[in-house]
Amino acid sequence: MGQLSSFSVVMLLLAFVLSICVHMIHLYNHQAILVRSVYDEPNKTNVHERLVDNNNNAAKPENSQDGDVSRDIKCTMAPESRFDCARDRLLSQRECEERGCCYAPLPGAKGPPWCFYPSVYPGYKMGPLTPTTRGQAATLTRATRSYLPRDISALHLEVIEEAAGCLHLTLKDPSSQRYEVKLPGRLPRSKADTVDALYTTEYQSDPFGFIVRRKSNSRVIMNTTVAPLLFSDQYLQLSTSLASSLVSGLGEHYTSLLLDLNWTSLTLWNRDMAPHADANLYGSHPFYIVQEEDGLAHGVFLLNSNAVEVMLQPTPALTWVAIGGILDLYIFMGPDPQSVTRQYLQVIGYPMMPPYWSLGFHLCRWGYTTTNTTRRVAQRMHDANFPLDVQWNDLDYANKRRVFTFDPWRFGDLPEMVEEFHKRGMKYILILDPGISSTSPPGTYPPFDDGLKRDVFIKNATGHILIGKVWPGPTAFPDFTNPETRQWWEDCIRDFHSKVPVDGLWIDMNEPASFVQGSVEGCPDGDLEHPPYTPRVVGGQLNSGTLCMSAQQKLSTHYNLHNMYGLTEAFATHSALMKVRGKRPFVLSRSSFSGIGRFSGVWTGDVRSDWEQLRYSIPAVLQFSLFGVPLVGADICGFGGNTTEELCVRWMQLGAFYPFMRNHNDRQNAPQEPYIFGQKAQAAMRSALNLRYSLLPFLYTLLHHAHTSADTVARPLFMEFPADPNSQTIDRQFLWGSSLLISPVLEQGVEELAAYLPPGTWYSVHNGQPFYSKGQYLLLPAPLDTINVHVREGHIIPQQEPALTTTASRRNPFFLTVALSAGGWARGDLFWDDGDSLDTFEMGNYCYVIFIAGQSQVVSDPLRLNGALDGLVLGGLQVFGVPSPPLYVLANGDKVRDFTYRSDTKVLTVTSLALPMSEVFTVQWAL
């Protein structure tokens, strides 16, 4: 009997468990049908789908046993698929469940959230889509309030098919005008043809979400049904799945090129902060690009200038949180990575064309304390045969550190020094901080006196001028969103330029930075200074190291405009220089936001003199390439701390391939000008500089293509080889355009380098030695005097004999490096103008020459001429990959005596030519 009763008990328990399982499977299948209806319904012409969740109260706390089981089902998910329900604050289990969320602790502090949304959670309900003048629109409504303060119960959704590869969605409050980003100087864009759209869209009605697929393969690009949409006055949240874990962008941060998706977060809030991990830095670029693992790619841009936090998780998925503004979302479908960046730049603007001289070497230091010190530095550079185009001064020049002045004692002859530089073919740039000293006696400092009269400064919440503190002491901050401020800024620059004819301006401290929190008087309490949610920022508060969030600007509060301060200053400075000088402006900015490449170059701030910072400068430069800022570089040899000879050599070698090349140093550090090192180190640096200067015609042509076609200059390997799995993750090497592969040494004591060569033939730029790669790493010699650079087969690189300045080098003979493909073909081009005039491409005032190699000859084809190439000649060429010794060489039909051929490397070198670059020429070799 005892055994029988035990058996009965066991059977009863099994039956009970089985009934629960059947009930759970029934519930699970009901939800699975909903999910599948989102993913599997074919979409014809963007049909508005109503995927109604009949259990939309199920996410609320329930007391019944069935309710507990239902919640258990909805809370049963893989930890990496959890979306945080307590992002805004730390919650107890009771508080979490009161939100209708799931609570399930896990071991370890970092990782998946303990409080997370169930698989179904109440949110907005979508009404029908109706046509608008720009696309389609719908109203979203909430039946119940969210857990956020001042949430917005009705939203206006607009869906705009901007182009075949660009979908634009906005979510706004229809009852109240909220701040929306308007990028400065943008021209209205005409709507492009969307007949062959690369995407399809689907909508889940309740709770609202949308899915964007790639039409060609039905891959899900975005799926916002994975977590609820939240929209309150100061907290906007949108989550999406990701098509792969290969995500780049969301700058500016000290990261590798591929972002870490293992439960990390990135805050976009501009801050004066030396680059280091897990910190918000100088710029904000709310754009990311995803490699889809089969050579395809897409990108997403959230046009929002408020503080933004992006949570990344290994699902893979991400969550946007913005603490103001609207959700203004662009989705770029590529289909390849280069097309994604081009589509992004069609929204934010193509980059400006820099002056040719700005591609030369720049030298700066905080600590060149007099004009004579500055003169000696430039003289010693040229005496040691180092190219130097642009001499800089940091704030040492300014009288009492006030901008638009110069010290009468230490820099009394600054105008004369600048003229001396100009006579030597050099240029001169100095620093210009935005903070205007407010404590000079009235009538003694015109920038402040005039600014006061013209009402150009940012105000505090009570309407008085906000006073912060920067280098000159108490300072006022210009409001560059005010047209009158931009005119005043131009007037200040014009007046200063009439005394000191600077060639460009370096706008620093423009996050804006301040040495006091908010203002010298503090900031008022309130939701702008202390919002319900503050993203993780250095200092813990939004006003840390900057202005009060409640500060008033012409367009809106500083709370909304902070991240755009550097962009608006760059716009004003670029415009002023253009009008004052009548030539192509050069502006270098530290702070940045989407679109700054139209007006300015960027440098990566106060990097330290160490090997790690050398290595991370590559992904920093490559990220800015993705953001539409091709003219970018890091402070060579490091700004903070003392460099070493070896580090400085390796940094000069890498820096020779930053599009913007400047050595800059802090006051208290050991000197790091190239001429102070030993002879071997100097020779290595000189070699790198001369290689750069020889390549400037090629670099200038690349920047032309960036300006006119949104091509990248410093290019990640994945952009050029998107279908090559090995190229997807590389950020220790990079390309110039599609032709040059740069493989620098990034570790101390290394004299050989494992470099990845994508599939194809690559030739050493130094001697033409070929490397036939199947897509593999090769061990290359890398002694201290060498940086490995390889030319890709099928490409022709236009070069010019180097000189100590670009003024001189631009007059020198050209030569071509021709890297033949296996079939004996190659192609290249040259863009050439006077290097300094405005809008030369737009006005047709330039030369453009195509070079084609094939059938044992190189031919030039000048497609456009304007006189800029007159008097310039082709002095020679080197052809890589010539299979056998030529019997003879002809230049325009005449035999050439000066040619050599190396059988070991298969390189033909032709010298002593003088073929006019403005005419068609042909160089042939007979095999």
Lowest mean pLDDT among 192-206, 506-520, 687-701, 904-918: 192-206
How high is the pLDDT of residue 854? 98
SS3 state at 8:
helix
Q: Model confidence over 423-451: pLDDT tens digits?
A: 999 999 999 999 999 999 999 999 999 99
More confident residue, 23 or 311: 311
How high is the pLDDT of residue 68? 56
8 pLDDT more than 50? no
Which of the 8 DSSP states describes residue 670?
Answer: P
Among candidates 301, 262, 276, 248, which has minimal Cα distance to 626?
248
836 pLDDT more than 70? yes
Q: Model confidence over 598-616: pLDDT tens digits?
A: 999 999 999 999 999 999 9
Cα separations in angstroms, 81 against 241, 365, 546 = 9, 50, 37
Query: Catalytic residue at 511?
Result: yes
Query: Catalytic residue at 419?
Result: no
Mean pLDDT confidence for 684-692: 98
252 pLDDT more than 60? yes
Mean pLDDT confidence for 110-133: 95
Q: Are 415 and 716 in contact (CB under 8 A)?
A: no
In this structure, the number of other CB atoms found within 10 A of the CB of residue 376 comes to 13
880 pLDDT more than 70? yes
Cα end-to-end distance, the chain, whole Å? 104
- Sign of the Cα torsion 80, 81, 85, 91 reads negative
Quickly tell me which residue has 């604050």 as its tokens: 89
How high is the pLDDT of residue 27? 36
Query: Considering the chain, what is the average pLDDT of its residues?
Result: 92
Q: How far apart are CA 584 and CA 707, in angstroms?
A: 13
pLDDT band at 49 (very low <50, low <70, confident <90, very high): very low
How high is the pLDDT of residue 190? 62
CA quadruple 356, 358, 362, 368: dihedral, nearest 10: 120
Q: How far apart are CA 350 and CA 345, in angstroms?
A: 5
Marked catalytic residue, from 202, 503, 511, 833: 511
Q: How far apart are CA 592 and CA 660, in angstroms?
A: 16
Whether omega before 252 lies within 30 degrees of 0, making that bond cis, reads yes
Amino acid at 350: Y
Q: DSSP string covering 843-888, please?
A: TT-SEEEEEEE-SSEEEEEEEE--STTTT-EEEEEEEET--S--SE
Mean pLDDT confidence for 245-251: 98
CA quadruple 412, 404, 602, 501: dihedral, nearest 10: -60
Q: Model confidence over 263-280: pLDDT tens digits?
A: 999 999 999 999 999 999
Task: Tell how strand 635-636 and strand 776-781 pair up.
Answer: unpaired
Q: Where are the beta strands (DSSP E) in 323-400?
A: 327-332, 361-363, 390-393
Marked catalytic residue, from 49, 97, 508, 793: 508
Q: Are 824 and 714 in contact (CB under 8 A)?
A: no
Percent of the chain with pLDDT over 70: 91
Q: How far apart are CA 109 and CA 99, in angstroms?
A: 22
SS3 state at 529:
coil
The residues, ordered by sequence, that sit 6+ positions from 906 with a Cβ below 8 Å of its Cβ are: 768, 770, 880, 881, 882, 883
888 pLDDT more than 60? yes
Q: Model confidence over 565-602: pLDDT tens digits?
A: 999 999 999 999 999 999 999 999 999 999 999 999 99
Lowest mean pLDDT among 84-88, 222-226, 691-695, 798-802: 84-88
Q: Model confidence over 758-803: pLDDT tens digits?
A: 999 999 999 999 999 999 999 999 999 999 999 999 999 999 999 9
Tokens in use for 716? Answer: 């990640």
How high is the pLDDT of residue 741? 99
33 pLDDT more than 50? no
* Entry field: residues in the chain: 927
Nearest-10 crossing angle of helices 414-423, 371-383: 20
Q: Are 281 and 273 in contact (CB under 8 A)?
A: yes
Nearest-10 crossing angle of helices 679-694, 645-655: 10
pLDDT band at 35 (very low <50, low <70, confident <90, very high): very low
Q: How far apart are CA 30 and CA 28, in angstroms?
A: 5
492 pLDDT more than 50? yes
pLDDT band at 187 (very low <50, low <70, confident <90, very high): low
pLDDT band at 211 (very low <50, low <70, confident <90, very high): very high
pLDDT band at 48 (very low <50, low <70, confident <90, very high): very low
How high is the pLDDT of residue 605? 98
Q: How far apart are CA 421 and CA 188, in angstroms?
A: 42
Mean pLDDT confidence for 725-732: 97
Q: Model confidence over 131-175: pLDDT tens digits?
A: 999 999 999 999 999 999 999 999 999 999 999 999 999 999 999
Q: How far apart are CA 438 and CA 402, in angstroms?
A: 10
Q: Which residues pair with 429 in a beta bridge?
A: 392, 504
25 pLDDT more than 70? no
Percent of the chain with pLDDT over 90: 90
The residues, ordered by sequence, that sit 6+ positions from 74 with a Cβ below 8 Å of its Cβ are: 31, 58, 59, 102, 118, 119, 120
Q: Model confidence over 64-109: pLDDT tens digits?
A: 344 555 667 889 999 999 999 999 889 999 999 999 999 999 998 7
Mean pLDDT confidence for 41-57: 30
Q: How far apart are CA 712 and CA 495, in angstroms?
A: 37
